[in-house]
Amino acid sequence: MAAMSSAACGSASAQGSVNRVEGELDQLWNKLRGHKSAPPPAKQSPAGGAPQAPAAPASPAQTAAPAAPSQKAAGATPEIPVVQPKVETVTDYVEITGTAASTNIVKLIARVEGYLEKIHFADGASVKEDDLLFTIQQDQYKAQLQQAKAQLMTQQAALVHAQTELVRYTELFHRNAASATEVDQWVYQKAAAEAGILSAQGQIEVAQLNLDYTEVRAPFAGVMGKHLVDPHNVVGGGGGQPAALAEITQLDPIYVNATLSEQQALGIRANINQRRLTPADLLKVPVDVGLQNGTDYPYHGHIEYVAPQFDPTTGTIEVRGILRNPDRNLLPGLFVRVRLPKGHVAHGALLVPARTISEDQSGLYLMIVNKDDVVEQRYVQAAQRPVGGLRVISSGLEPDELVVTGDLWRVSPGMKVIPKLTSADAQ
């Protein structure tokens, strides 16, 4: 009996040590989880001893709070932005690369010989039409003009004298006091004086022109290049090709040259023939131009020239447009983007924001919300050219359907959503 009692006491002591260790482990675990420590739950001793003190019950906030957000997220239906396709009339275009070219480039050459006295512009400056650019020595040309005027006065005096003498000798001839030869002589003198007046007037005009040529002026508004001859040099020499004084370039309006492939040109011609455009109407076809680093076409003009034949070596045809360039943003030699209408107009085209279109190995597709508010994946055909941030959907979409335009990463086919209608222009 004593031995059994001693064994029972040892077993109870060991069990108490185990319970104490478990309680410490539970407290440590609660601390790691962020909960307040609580005494471990009461456990029945194997030996039938008194039960341990029960642990304090956890508060409802400690037990229910972690599970509430996950339950809410799992049960909520997401709200997804959608748009209806925009219905517009769209013109089909062909986009090609072209180059800007000046409408006028003129080399300024001295038309009279003399010393170059003064340059009146700064290299690279903008000038207006008829602005004075160069002055050539004028002294000798002023003297030549004076001589021509004096010669005119001489001939005018000779005419007056011949007329007077002709009247006098005509009266003497009627009185038989002068011969017919003398009368004829004064008729000749009168005619010679009249011819001399015409010659002197011509000399005056030539002398005036030479004097005017000593001032080299801008033939049109443009931009000056650098001057090629310094002052005090002789210019306008008669021997050989005269040296240019400078070069002036016209930038407003400006040309845009481009080439169309045979396929592009034939497609445009087919559409034009359907519209029955005359050659005069062809020259009114609009041309839109944009810079290489831009996305829009801020410069507008019209077709000015179409080559009469294809280039057999390249299979292309040259097209030239002309447009205003008041700010001179387009410079000769600059590569530009050129947009020409193909002549085909699509009425009632469906447009959606370009960023709503995705692509996989099967092609382009949109995420559509059907009438049951369920997401569908729809493969479509889309035009390559954006229209102001929108793209034309040529097939696979109806005007009254809803296209997912936001939170595309959140949606998947078969998903139930709440569509939130937005505007396609706001995308």
* Nearest C-alpha neighbor of 339 from the set 97, 120, 102, 14: 97
User: If pLDDT is split at 50, 70 and 90, which confidence band does 294 have?
Assistant: confident
Give the model confidence (pLDDT) of 18-34 as tens digits.
566 566 666 665 665 55
Q: Quick check: 227 and 107 in contact, CB under 8 A?
A: no
What letters, b where the CB count within 10 A reaches 16 and e where it falls short, cover 181-219? ebbeebeebbeebbebbeebeebbeebeebbebbebbbe
Read off the pLDDT of each residue in 12-16 and give the average, rounded to a whole number: 53
Q: How far is CA 164 from CA 149, 161, 215, 414, in A?
A: 23, 5, 44, 118
Read off the pLDDT of each residue in 88-116 and give the average, rounded to a whole number: 88
C-alpha to C-alpha distance for 32 and 222, rounded to whole angstroms: 82
The confidence score (pLDDT) of residue 94 equals 81
- The answer on pLDDT for 120 being more than 90 is yes
Give the model confidence (pLDDT) of 124-165 as tens digits.
999 999 999 999 999 999 999 999 999 999 999 999 999 999
Most confident of 39-48, 267-276, 327-336: 327-336
The confidence score (pLDDT) of residue 292 equals 86
